[in-house]
């Protein structure tokens, strides 16, 4: 029907006719067959295909859309007919929902959609049979395939292209099979066949008649091409690499070996990283290169969206690379940031936990979660406990493996979502099955698991994490984390001048984290071997709750190895130390040989198997060969790559845990398989998924192919791999057994004397050591016994300025000793030696064999914060006495001088305390005291003068006081004389500044609360008066005193006493003591209001939050009128107090 005919059908102007005329102008190829007020019939011819559609016009058109239906006379592939009808109706509905003007364009929109859809999905060569002639095409296909169509297709797929297959079906010769022009002419003339050019149109047309859309064809062709490219990438050799000393490949720049095909392909593929279809090729290429990936490319992968942002530009790409490549990116980013450090503060901060490295973004939430673990913090703050059962700690629970849900749930919510999507912190389980019951995992275990999965087995990442922890400890350890009034710069300055506190409590949990990281890493690199032995020795001691004499000797052996200076590092010769082994110090000792072979499992219950690394590599080698055989057994690549919904519609909804050969290979390369049984489970899952998805007749071929490959795998590939693994393990076991027998025979033939206690003597000539002594000195650390305990010779020296890849091992060793759980073991052992050996045997403290060494370990723990602040650039081994460490200048004091001068005062203090108990009522000397034959000695202030710098002695005195305050160790009468003696000693040792000794006050509160309601009032008054006095005597600012740990612990203790009832602390006395504490902290009189306290209360200061929490707890348990009266007396406004009360 022409345009004039359409116009003549209606005498008046009709909007529908006008719309048809406009559409006819746009699409003249559309033939209008008929029009009426209720419908429009049109047709569209395209080659052998013809489409007839009817557009039904509704009553309220154009408000309601046209209804499009395809007539039965239409000749198009059946697979496209339904798609076309659905598409046309969707277009009509979309137009009807627009404005009134656009709604009248439904006819044009439907016609346009019809034309574009058929032009896109159909190809029409002139001489290709279609429509009624398609029967001839089917006969050709049946003849080409023969009787067994499936076998013919399989044979052709293995040896011919798709083009060759269709050429054979239609009796033509493909152009690529005729190599020369003459052969083309001869074949065409002799066999009456014409050479067909490489034109995909016939194949596409044939597929369209089968109902396969053009999009699906392109998708499958692209998938096949990607698979072919990935196979070619896997077969191509890697670029040349240079192995470094630690076994890692050194990655050069992109210019090195630039002619290698893989590197050229990487350079070409990088610009197409955002193209979804080409990204898998880039991912496969990066995985193949692995350690050979250029550093510049790794830095590009780790680029962030902007300065100060945590989001990565290529987070989606990194998330698909796997853990190994991700760790390479973290290493490259860390190396880049570390290489740009030029000594200024900003650059040094870049490689800390608060820096901008990607590794810090992952590690910081885990570290914060670890140091804030409630149970761990509570245990660390309890510096002094009553018995060995309380000193024991189940350290294994901190390193237990956390599940994926635990790790994910425990992550810090402030972490960037883009970073969280990368998923480094969780471990992918290789086993499916039933849902396991939920178990509660400690947050510390979640943190360790997260860090372990982030670091993997990369020594460089291990060193980077430890380096960040050294920096973190230098600004928050040693009790500085509890002092909120000081800036980071002020804390660092204080550390360099005075050092931190030995009793760091929870602020020293960074040291505990270092120990757990070392113990959970597995087989440590060679450079960390002595540090790993030290960590295991201390961890075993914490588990049993005491340090044995043999363990002490072995700890010293590790420290001698770690603190051993080189000749160029020595800034001064160490003074000769007058010890019990003086005759041996004239000879130069040898480096102690490190050995893990003879470590008994009862000392290290969780020690890893020595041969674990060999077994891991062996399993990897066996599985690599098995996977190669699986690829050969799958020539069509059916199980090679992951299956997507684009390839198999609805696959993800049916298969919940997909598996393919590529995934199995990646898990093998990452050493995710702990045993060959894990590999077996994943392979069987892969075959089971294929059978589960491919059901019915359409999936018959896939099920048969899966069964064939599975049968071959079960009968040949898996048994051979399992047999090979078992054989190699047996050979290895026999070799180790033989080596051990030889070692035992050699050891039994000649008895060795124990090694000298000093493993080396710096500054001495090597010629001083006889040859016979050198052989005897070659002993293992674990062979050292109590006879070998002897302090290390003190010295100070500067380290070389050249930076090394591993962090300062001396800093890490001092951090292990500063672990709060290790500190309380050292202090407890010192006190036991003083009580049991020195006092009972009436000996001199400096003459004890163990005491000097234990005090030296305490000194090393004390200077740990200073060493970490200097990053190990200047080191010192302290004297075995109690004197303060001098990092600068010359020390002219005699060795053991402080040990001789001040430790006897502690012995005298304990003797006086014991005498006070004996002459008190109920003691064996009470009768003599009643007859004035004995009297308690006076408290001498002058004898403790000059001891204010002896922090380690103060810790020992604090521990002795806590021991005294335990129920049953004294009585009420004797305590009236004993307690002032300890207070006097602590005043002199601390110079009156005790407000920041939080672990001491928490331990004191813990001991006092054990009395419960039986606490004597006289003891209560002694403690409260002294704590208020310490608040008043503090030399810190008033604000610092009000926010101090002493103020918080004092109010917490009063609240606990008040909760026991009036038998311990009445309500009126509670309020009175709180007012006295405020006045003492603010240096005000008892009747004066504290303006500073009110100011901190009103502005809700963060530093004051913990103290305010205790006061609010007091007010909550107090009657309302009494509480209002207390607040009015202090000057706290009611509205402000009520607002703060509600928010709390």
Residue given tokens 């159909």 in the structure block: 122
Residues sharing a CB contact under 8 Å with residue 534, sequence separation 6 or more, in sequence order: 555, 558, 559, 562, 813, 816
- Residue 606: which pLDDT band, with cuts at 50, 70 and 90? very low
Give residues with Cβ within 8 angstroms of 23, minimum separation 6: 30, 107, 108, 111
Q: Which tokens hold the place of 627? A: 């996977």
Q: Which of 5-9, 251-255, 578-582, 797-801 has the lowest mean pLDDT?
A: 578-582
| Helix (H) or strand (E) segment spanning residue 44 | strand 39-46
Sign of CA dihedral 83, 84, 86, 91: positive
More confident residue, 1142 or 586: 1142
Helix (H, G, I), strand (E, B) or coil at 878: coil
In degrees and rounded to multiples of 5, residue 406 shows phi and psi of -65, -45
Q: For residue 129, what pLDDT band results from cuts at 50, 70 and 90?
A: very low
Mean pLDDT of 863-887: 71
Q: 3-state DSSP call for residue 153?
A: helix
Strand, coil or helix: 666:
helix
pLDDT tens digits for 623-660?
989 998 998 888 878 888 888 887 888 888 899 899 99
DSSP 488-511: HHHHHHHHHHH---S--GGGGHHH
Choice between 560 and 196, residue whose per-residue pLDDT is larger = 560
Q: Which residues pair with 233 in a beta bridge?
A: none
Residue 40, beta-bridge partner list = 35, 55
User: How large is the average pLDDT for residues 906-918?
Assistant: 85
Cα gap 339→336, rounded to integer Å: 5
Angle (nearest 5°) at CA 548 between 951 and 875 = 45
pLDDT at 1059 over 60: yes
Burial class of residue 697, CB neighbours in 10 A (0-12, 13-18, 19+): exposed
Q: Which two tokens stand for residue 872?
A: 């190990």
Cβ distance 363 to 454 under 8 Å? yes
Distance CA 256, CA 812 (A): 37
Mean pLDDT of 377-384: 88
Integer Cα distance of 336 and 347 in angstroms? 11
Q: Tell me the pLDDT tens digit for each residue of 156-210.
A: 555 555 556 555 555 555 555 554 445 545 544 544 444 555 556 666 766 776 6
Using DSSP, state whether 384 is helix, strand or coil: coil
Strand 31-35 versus strand 39-46 pairing type: antiparallel
Nearest to 796 by CA among 866, 852, 743: 866
| Residue 258 CB partners (closer than 8 Å, separation 6+) | 264
- pLDDT at residue 234, as a whole number: 82
Question: What's the 3-state SS for 950-985?
Answer: CHHHHHHHHHHHHHHHCCCCCCHHHHHHHHHHHHHH
Q: Do residues 817 and 537 touch, judged by C-beta distance below 8 A?
A: no
- Hey, which residues does 31 pair with through a beta bridge? 43
Q: Which of 694, 682, 756, 688 is nearest to 718 (CA)?
A: 682
Q: What sign results for the dihedral spanned by CA atoms 546, 550, 554, 559? A: positive
Q: Is the pLDDT score of 488 beyond 70? A: no
501, 479 Cβ separation under 8 angstroms: yes
Please state, in angstroms and rounded to a whole number, the distance separating the CA atoms of residues 307 and 702: 52
Instruction: Name the one residue in this structure whose structure tokens are 């493993």.
Output: 759
What is residue 160's predicted lDDT score, i.e. its pLDDT? Answer: 53
Structure tokens at 108: 């044009």
Residue among 646, 645, 653, 660 at smallest CA distance from 690: 660
Question: What pLDDT shows up at residue 821?
Answer: 92
Q: Whole-number mean pLDDT of the chain?
A: 75
* Under 8 Å between Cβ of 61 and 95: no
Q: What residues pair up with 877 in beta bridges, in sequence order?
A: 795
Please report the pLDDT score of residue 122 as a whole number.
Answer: 58
Cα distances from 640 to residues 223, 226, 277, 308, 432, in angstroms, run 12, 12, 18, 41, 20
CA 1088 from centre of chain: 53
Q: Let me know: does 848 contact 833? Beta carbons within 8 Å.
A: yes
Give CA–CA dist 69/88, Å, rounded: 9
Please compute the mean of the pLDDT values over residues 776-794 and round it to a whole number: 72
Long-range contacts of 662-666 (CB under 8 A, 24+ apart): 664/627, 665/627, 666/287, 666/322
Percent of the chain with pLDDT over 70: 67
User: Measured at the alpha carbon of residue 694, what is the angle toward residues 689 and 695, in degrees to the nearest 5?
Assistant: 120
Mean pLDDT score, 849-863: 86
- Residue carrying structure tokens 């530009």: 313
> In terms of pLDDT, which residue wins out, 449 or 759?
449
Residues 463-499 as b or e (16 or more Cβ within 10 Å = b): bbbbbbbbbbbbbbbbbbbbbbeeeeeebbebbeeeb
DSSP 50-92: EEEEEEEPPTTTTTSPPEEEE-TT-BS-HHHHHHHHHHHHHHH
Residue with the bigger pLDDT between 872 and 548: it is 548
Mean pLDDT is highest, among 336-340, 378-382, 899-903, 906-910, for: 378-382
* Helices first, then strands: H and E counts in the chain: 54, 10
Question: Residues for the chain: how many in total?
Answer: 1144
Closest to 1078 measured CA to CA, from 1065, 1067, 1089: 1089
Mean pLDDT within 71-90: 75
pLDDT greater than 60 at residue 744: no
The DSSP letter of residue 110 is: H
Can you give the pLDDT at residue 719?
92
Q: What is the pLDDT of residue 1140?
A: 47
Res 425: pLDDT: 40
Q: Which residue has the higher pLDDT, 804 or 609?
A: 804
* Farthest CA pair distance, the chain: 143
For the record, the structure tokens of 593 come out as 């040989």
Between CA 629 and CA 627 the distance in angstroms is 5
The DSSP output letter for 583 is G
Report the distance separating Cα 420 and Cα 404, nearest Å: 13
Structure tokens at 1027: 């704590």
Per-residue pLDDT band for 426 (boundaries 50, 70, 90) equals very low
**Cβ atoms within 10 Å of 965's Cβ, excluding its own:** 26
Confidence grade of residue 430 (pLDDT, cut at 50, 70, 90)? very low
**Quick check: 895 and 575 in contact, CB under 8 A?**
yes
Query: What burial class does residue 34 get, using C-beta atoms within 10 Å of its C-beta: 0-12 exposed, 13-18 middle, 19+ buried?
Result: exposed
| Bridge partners (DSSP) listed for residue 49 | 46
85 beta partners: none
pLDDT value of residue 689: 92
Q: Does the structure show a pLDDT above 70 at 395?
A: yes
Count Cβ atoms below 10 Å from residue 898 Cβ, excluding itself. 24
Q: At residue 442, does pLDDT exceed 90?
A: no
Q: How far is CA 962 from the centre of its chain?
A: 38
Give the DSSP per-residue string, 973-1042.
Answer: HHHHHHHHHHHHHHHHHHTT--TT-HHHHHHHHHHHGGGGGG--HHHHHHHHHHHHHHHHH--S-HHHHH
569, two tokens: 């590092």
pTM of the model: 0.70
633 with 713: CB under 8 angstroms? yes
């Amino acid at each position: 029907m022409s345009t004039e005919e359409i116009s003549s059908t209606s005498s008046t102007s009709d909007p529908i006719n006008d719309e048809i005329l406009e559409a006819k102008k746009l699409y003249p190829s559309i033939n209008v067959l008929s029009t009426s007020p209720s419908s429009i019939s049109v047709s569209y011819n395209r080659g052998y295909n013809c489409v007839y559609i009817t557009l039904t016009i509704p009553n309220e058109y154009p408000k309601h859309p046209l209804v499009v239906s395809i007539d039965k006379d239409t000749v198009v592939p059946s697979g496209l007919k339904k798609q076309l009808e659905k598409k046309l109706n969707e277009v009509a509905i979309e137009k009807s929902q627009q404005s009134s003007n656009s709604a009248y364009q439904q006819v044009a929109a439907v016609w346009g959609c019809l034309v574009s859809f058929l032009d896109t999905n159909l190809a029409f060569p002139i001489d290709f049979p279609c429509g009624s002639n398609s029967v001839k095409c089917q006969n050709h296909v049946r003849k080409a395939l023969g009787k067994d169509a499936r076998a013919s297709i399989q044979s052709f797929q293995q040896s011919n292209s798709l083009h060759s297959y269709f050429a054979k079906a239609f009796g033509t010769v493909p152009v690529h099979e005729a190599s020369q022009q003459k052969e083309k002419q001869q074949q065409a003339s002799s066999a009456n066949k014409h050479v067909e050019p490489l034109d995909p149109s016939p194949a596409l047309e044939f597929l369209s008649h089968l109902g396969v859309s053009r999009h699906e064809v392109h998708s499958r062709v692209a998938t096949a091409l990607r698979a072919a490219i990935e196979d070619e990438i896997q077969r191509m050799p890697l670029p040349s690499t240079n192995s470094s000393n630690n076994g890692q490949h050194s990655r050069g720049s992109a210019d090195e070996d630039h002619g290698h095909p893989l590197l050229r392909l990487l350079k070409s593929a990088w610009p197409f990283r955002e193209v979804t279809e080409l990204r898998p090729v880039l991912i496969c290429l990066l995985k193949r290169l692995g350690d050979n990936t250029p550093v510049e490319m790794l830095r590009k992968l780790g680029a962030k969206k902007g300065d100060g942002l945590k989001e990565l530009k290529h987070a989606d790409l990194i998330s698909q690379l796997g853990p190994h490549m991700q760790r390479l990116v973290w290493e490259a980013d860390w190396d880049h940031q570390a290489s740009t450090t030029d000594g200024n503060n900003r650059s040094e901060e870049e490689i800390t936990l608060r820096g901008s490295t990607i590794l810090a973004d992952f590690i910081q939430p885990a570290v914060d979660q670890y140091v804030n673990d409630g149970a761990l913090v509570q245990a660390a703050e309890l510096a002094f406990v009553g018995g060995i059962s309380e000193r024991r700690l189940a350290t294994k629970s901190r390193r237990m493996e956390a599940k994926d849900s635990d790790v994910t749930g425990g992550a810090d919510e402030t972490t960037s979502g883009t970073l969280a999507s990368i998923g480094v912190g969780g471990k992918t389980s290789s086993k499916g099955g039933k849902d396991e019951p939920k178990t509660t995992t400690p947050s510390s275990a979640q943190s360790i698991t997260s860090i372990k999965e982030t670091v993997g087995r990369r020594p460089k990442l291990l060193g980077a994490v430890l380096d960040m922890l050294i920096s973190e400890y230098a600004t928050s350890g040693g009790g500085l984390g509890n002092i909120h009034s000081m800036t980071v710069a002020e804390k660092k300055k204080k550390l360099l001048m005075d050092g931190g506190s030995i009793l760091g409590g929870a602020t020293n949990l960074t040291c505990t984290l270092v120990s757990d990281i070392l113990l959970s890493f597995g087989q440590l690199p060679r450079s960390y071997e002595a540090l790993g032995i030290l960590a295991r020795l201390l961890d075993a001691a914490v588990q049993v709750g005491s340090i044995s004499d043999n363990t002490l000797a072995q700890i010293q052996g590790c420290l001698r190895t770690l603190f051993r200076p080189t000749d160029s590092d020595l800034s001064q010769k160490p003074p000769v130390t007058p010890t019990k082994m003086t005759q041996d110090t004239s000879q130069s000792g040898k480096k102690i040989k490190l050995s893990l072979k003879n470590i008994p499992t009862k000392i290290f219950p969780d020690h890893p198997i020595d041969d674990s690394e060999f077994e891991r590599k062996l399993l990897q080698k066996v599985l690599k060969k098995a996977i190669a055989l699986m690829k050969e057994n799958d020539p069509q690549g059916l199980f090679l790559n992951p299956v997507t919904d684009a390839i198999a519609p609805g696959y993800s909804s049916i298969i919940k845990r997909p598996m393919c050969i590529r995934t199995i290979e990646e898990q093998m390369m990452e050493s995710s398989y702990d045993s060959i049984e894990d590999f077996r489970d994943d392979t069987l899952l892969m075959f089971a998924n294929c059978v589960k998805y491919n059901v019915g007749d359409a999936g018959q071929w896939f099920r048969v192919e899966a069964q064939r490959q599975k049968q071959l795998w079960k009968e040949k590939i898996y048994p051979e791999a399992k047999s090979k693994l078992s054989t190699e393990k047996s050979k290895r076991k026999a070799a180790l057994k033989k080596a051990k027998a030889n070692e035992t025979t050699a050891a039994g033939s000649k008895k060795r004397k124990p090694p000298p206690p000093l493993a080396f003597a710096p500054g001495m000539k090597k010629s001083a050591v006889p040859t016979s002594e050198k052989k005897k000195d070659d002993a293992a650390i674990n062979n050292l016994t109590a006879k070998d305990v002897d302090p290390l010779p003190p010295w100070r020296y500067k380290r070389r300025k050249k930076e090394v890849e591993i962090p300062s091992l001396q800093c890490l060793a001092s951090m292990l000793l500063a672990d709060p759980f290790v500190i309380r073991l050292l202090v407890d052992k010192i006190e036991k030696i003083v009580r049991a050996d020195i006092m009972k045997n009436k000996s001199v403290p400096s003459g004890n064999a163990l005491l000097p060494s234990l005090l030296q370990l305490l000194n090393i723990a004390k200077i740990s914060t200073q060493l970490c602040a200097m990053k190990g650039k200047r080191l010192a081994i302290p004297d075995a006495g109690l004197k303060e460490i001098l990092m600068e200048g010359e020390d002219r004091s005699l060795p053991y001088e402080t040990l001789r001068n001040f430790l006897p005062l502690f012995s005298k203090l304990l003797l006086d305390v014991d005498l006070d108990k004996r002459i008190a009522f109920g003691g064996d000397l009470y009768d003599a005291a009643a007859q004035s034959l004995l009297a308690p000695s006076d408290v001498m202030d002058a004898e403790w003068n000059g001891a204010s710098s002896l922090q380690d002695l103060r810790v020992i005195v604090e521990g002795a006081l806590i021991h005294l305050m335990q129920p049953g160790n004294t009585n009420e009468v004797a305590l009236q004389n004993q307690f002032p003696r300890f207070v006097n000693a602590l005043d002199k040792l601390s110079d009156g500044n005790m407000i920041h000794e939080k672990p001491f006050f928490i331990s004191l509160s813990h001991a006092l609360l054990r009395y419960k309601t039986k606490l004597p009032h006289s003891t209560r008054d002694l403690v409260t008066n002294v704590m208020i006095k310490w608040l008043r005597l503090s030399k810190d600012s008033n604000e610092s005193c009000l926010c101090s740990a002493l103020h918080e612990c004092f109010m917490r203790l009063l609240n606990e006493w008040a909760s026991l009832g009036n038998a311990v602390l009445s309500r009126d006395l509670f309020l009175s003591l709180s007012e006295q504490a405020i006045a003492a902290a603010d240096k005000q009189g008892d009747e004066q209001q504290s303006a500073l306290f009110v100011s901190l209360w009103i502005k809700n200061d963060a530093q004051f939050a913990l103290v305010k929490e205790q006061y609010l707890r007091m007010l909550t348990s107090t009657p309302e009128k009494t509480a209002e009266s207390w607040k009015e007396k202090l000057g706290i406004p009611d509205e402000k107090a009520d607002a703060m009360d509600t928010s709390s």
